[in-house]
Chain A
Amino acid sequence: VPQRKTREPELASSLIKKIFSHYVKMPVTRDAFKIVKKCSERYFRQVCNDLEAYTSHAGRKTVEKADLEVLMRRQGLVTDKMPLHVLIERYLPLEYRKLLIPVAVSGNRVVPCQ
Chain B
Amino acid sequence: MISIRAGMSACGDLTVLLGSLQRLKAAVHYTVGCLCQDVAEDQDVQFSKQTIAAISEITFRQCENFAKDLEMFARHAKRTTVTTEDVKLLARRSSSLLKYITQKSEEITSSHTEQKEKKKKKPIAVKGGRTGKQEAPVTESEDSNMA
Contacts and interface: CB of A to CB of B under 8 A. Distances in A.
Interface of A: 50, 53-54, 57-59, 66-67, 70, 73-74
B92 interface: yes
Nearest to A79: B68
Given A58-B77, A70-B76, 7 more contacts: A50-B92, A53-B89, A53-B92, A54-B76, A59-B77, A66-B76, A74-B69
Nearest to A59: B77
23 contacts: A50-B92, A53-B89, A53-B92, A54-B76, A54-B89, A57-B73, A57-B76, A57-B77, A57-B85, A57-B86, A57-B89, A58-B76, A58-B77, A58-B78, A59-B77, A66-B76, A67-B76, A70-B72, A70-B73, A70-B76, A73-B69, A73-B72, A74-B69
Interface residues of B, number: 10
Contacts of A53: 89, 92
Q: Is the interface of B mostly helix, strand, loop or mixed?
A: helix
Considering residues A58, A59, A66, A67, which has the most beta carbons from chain B within 10 angstroms of its beta carbon?
Answer: A58
Contacts of A73: 69, 72
